[in-house]
Structure 1
């Protein structure tokens, strides 16, 4: 289907917005009135620029507070409408969005509303323009989409139909199944937006927290499917009001918007998602800086890359690469096990992820990689076959307490959090869990966990809004089958947990005195859910990176986030090794 987006959804001047929208591959735009009013371009110049970019203008919006008003107000509203119709002819815009009235002057009279909208549609028809009537979720008398359809049906004019907006429908909890009762030819326009579920005024919710489909908690795809089954044949259009998007790069936001529609349509080729972590690669100025910690964790250096300054450290199925071609210490790349590396890369490329060029020496393994929104390089591989490990001439792998990589936590730039969630959901097939906010001594950390089928791949995305220094920490969580043995080997290399934590733990959980004493002595943290228990510890931080060691008992599926405020407080006090 054709894809469109409202100019209000991206940042910049109208000219910058149009350039970004075209570059992302959209077919059309909705021109938001404020963008035109503030533009130095005349309507004719906008029309020409849109056409030169290969776009169409699908809608001009919004026209407010028109219907069901006293006679003197109606006369003024019709005068306004005629001015807008003349403007739209200059723009080449074929449709005007009319929002349900929110003015205190409007009356609760469906017949009067239908009469006024019929009159407006008659005037619009003289200019070759159609009217799409939309029920705002905060409309004074018309706030539900089936109510707007009843009024449109009463008005009975060929140039009058409804505009369906997923936010206005789903934020009210309305059943979108009723859309299929509306004839497809009377659904003039479909606007799509997602949002996190928030307990707040719906107007503020709409104006500040909308996001692209797949980034929030609404079933936007299901609503669109109802519209298509009803016979809707217009564009899929995005209308998103979001404070973060208004500050971010227009090109990046437009590309993210297009990715959301590609995923919603479902036309991207499927591929087997990752089943586990092949490796985590750390950029380090010198491998020696982390060698002592890795050795204490039970890892051994099993190989050096034939042509690159990279060391391979292994223990069972846990693999860490140390790449010394860098200045700072950070988590720079992840290797992901998948049955179809080429298929995953093709899917990622179709979803607008940049494929990374990679220099290969003679005989070196072919590893395809794409860049995640935060710059992390994602490699797709099959370690079980002759593979990337052959580049390191690996030695015997030690068997110890650490078995594999349990999860990774990636710090996200503030403007890219929702983009990252959609990227990992779409490209890797991860399931997003509920966002949570964690207390930091100097602010808040927003966190969202994501996991794949069978929980073989787990990721945690974090953004920090704090006032004290750089807390864009990343970490690699290592699974241990005997965390107490691991903790004893790490004596002096882990974060010191305050005694008050264990006093509180004793109050919160009915643990034996011996177990509490052991946890306290070893600096272990504890959590439980209805499936099992969780023990974990943290190492000191090296650059931007620290390690977590975890042991899941039973079928515990969380991440011990209840303990994160304690970890953050200690890290602020002792940020680096």
Structure 2
């Protein structure tokens, strides 16, 4: 695999997810976060639905129900004004979850369709054209897998009426599509011009290379040298099979090794182990994590993709116990990571980095 031309990477636009600046359990006010993201030189945000809810309480003086789309649209329109003041675009609304695969006539299906209509209204209000959909983690026994493709086709068709796109992401704790190959196969079957991939360094490396349930922090179904070769092969496959225009964005984060291996069971809130890991143990690259972030980013860039790199971290510290941080400094650190990451992607081949790890 050849190296990447660093000059070709200079035009990559960068975004920051609003939900991921500051302590995961106690985020600072949204306007403070928008200021920090803008001051650090990011071009846009991913607008997180929980931030619309929390800002709604500030703006309207009462708690906003997640299904009160009239109020949510008012709040989203105000957030757009605040972003405009700071020269920030709203690149995407996220995270739309547990949408696809509910059986015909089920409450889950009814709720999913109601949410889809409501979130499209929010997209119109905040001025974004892209909806992130995470591959569902609903228990498989509750799903009808034969509905997944047609459900996503229906959502694409709903979005198309407004000129909107669907960015489908593999969540590495998804019950039906945890890997990039899984969601890519679904996107090909959906076969709509307005669906593409939301790839993610954590979701890819955290699913195919690492494992929070083991003492080593790595998958242990094969010896380490075979694991490295298998992962390298997967990334090479990614770089040679996905057309660049079917990648809508790449989300960037690393992961800490967890202090004690996680249990394989769902926790009290229903989260699977990789979901728990994702929630609190995702720092910026080069800040104490251990995932091969640059390897994933390099593979994505080798497709020819030069679209959005978006920072989505959930940094609860190495112990997962959230601490307050200086969000201005943190946003600037993320901007510096982008420069270093692109230099690393352009500087070394994956095989060389694998050999020195």
- Report the equivalent of 1:197: 257
Mapped contact 1:210–1:242 kept (Cα < 8 A): yes
| Stretch of structure 1 that moved more, 45-54 or 99-108 | 99-108
What is the DSSP-based 3-state SS (H/G/I as helix, E as strand, rest coil) of the residue aligned with 2:167?
strand
Mapped contact 2:103–2:144 kept (Cα < 8 A): no
Q: 1:79 to 1:108 in 2, by over 3 A?
A: closer
What is the DSSP-based 3-state SS (H/G/I as helix, E as strand, rest coil) of the residue aligned with 2:94?
strand
- Report the equivalent of 2:269: none
Q: Which runs of 5 or more residues in structure 1 are unaligned?
A: 271-433, 435-577
Mapped contact 1:196–1:217 kept (Cα < 8 A): yes
Q: Does 1:153 align with 2:188?
A: yes
Larger radius of gyration between Structure 1 and Structure 2: 1
Q: Quick one: distance in 2 between partners of 1:45 and 1:246?
A: 29
Offset, 1:79 = 1.6
2:311 to 213, 238, 254: 238
Q: Quick one: distance in 2 between partners of 1:239 and 1:259?
A: 15
What is the DSSP-based 3-state SS (H/G/I as helix, E as strand, rest coil) of the residue aligned with 2:284?
coil
Q: Quick one: distance in 1 between partners of 2:15 and 2:341?
A: 13
Offset, 1:179 = 2.0
Q: Superposition RMSD on alpha carbons, in Å?
A: 2.2
Offset, 1:197 = 3.4
For residues 216-255 of structure 1, the aligned pairs below 5 Å read 216-244=289-317, 247-255=324-332
Q: Quick one: distance in 1 between partners of 2:87 and 2:332?
A: 16
Offset, 1:178 = 2.8
- Report the equivalent of 1:177: 236
The structure with the greater share of residues assigned to helix is: 2
For residues 79-478 of structure 1, the aligned pairs below 5 Å read 79-104=114-139, 106-107=142-143, 109=145, 111-172=146-207, 173=209, 174=231, 175-180=234-239, 181-198=241-258, 199-200=261-262, 201-215=273-287, 216-244=289-317, 247-266=324-343
Offset, 1:261 = 0.9
Mapped contact 1:177–1:223 kept (Cα < 8 A): no
What is the DSSP-based 3-state SS (H/G/I as helix, E as strand, rest coil) of the residue aligned with 2:98?
coil
Offset, 1:74 = 2.7
Length-normalised TM-score, structure 2: 0.71
Offset, 1:246 = 5.8
| Highest RCO, 1 vs 2 (Cα 8 Å, sep ≥ 6) | 2
Mapped contact 2:102–2:144 kept (Cα < 8 A): no
- Report the equivalent of 1:445: none
2:94 to 61, 77, 99: 61
- Report the equivalent of 1:379: none
Deviations 1:464-491 (A, max 9, x none): xxxxxxxxxxxxxxxxxxxxxxxxxxxx
Aligned length: 270
Offset, 1:196 = 2.6
What is the DSSP-based 3-state SS (H/G/I as helix, E as strand, rest coil) of the residue aligned with 1:266?
helix
Deviations 1:171-230 (A, max 9, x none): 121533332211111111211111133443322221111011222212212211111111
Q: Quick one: distance in 2 between partners of 1:44 and 1:57?
A: 11
What is the DSSP-based 3-state SS (H/G/I as helix, E as strand, rest coil) of the residue aligned with 2:45?
strand
Offset, 1:233 = 2.8
Q: Quick one: distance in 2 between partners of 1:255 and 1:59?
A: 21
Q: Quick one: distance in 2 between partners of 1:247 and 1:177?
A: 39
- Report the equivalent of 1:9: 20
Q: 1:50 to 1:246 in 2, by over 3 A?
A: farther
Q: Quick one: distance in 2 between partners of 1:222 and 1:158?
A: 28
Mapped contact 1:164–1:189 kept (Cα < 8 A): yes
Offset, 1:62 = 0.4
- Report the equivalent of 2:81: 48
Mapped contact 1:146–1:178 kept (Cα < 8 A): no
Give 4+ residue runs of structure 1 displaced > 6 Å after superposition.
none
- Report the equivalent of 2:110: 75
Q: Quick one: distance in 1 between partners of 2:192 and 2:163?
A: 13
Offset, 1:112 = 2.3
Q: Quick one: distance in 1 between partners of 2:275 and 2:136?
A: 14
Offset, 1:131 = 0.7
- Report the equivalent of 1:475: none
Q: Quick one: distance in 2 between partners of 1:106 and 1:68?
A: 9
Offset, 1:240 = 0.5
Deviations 1:237-275 (A, max 9, x none): 1111122476112111111111111111229xx9xxxxx
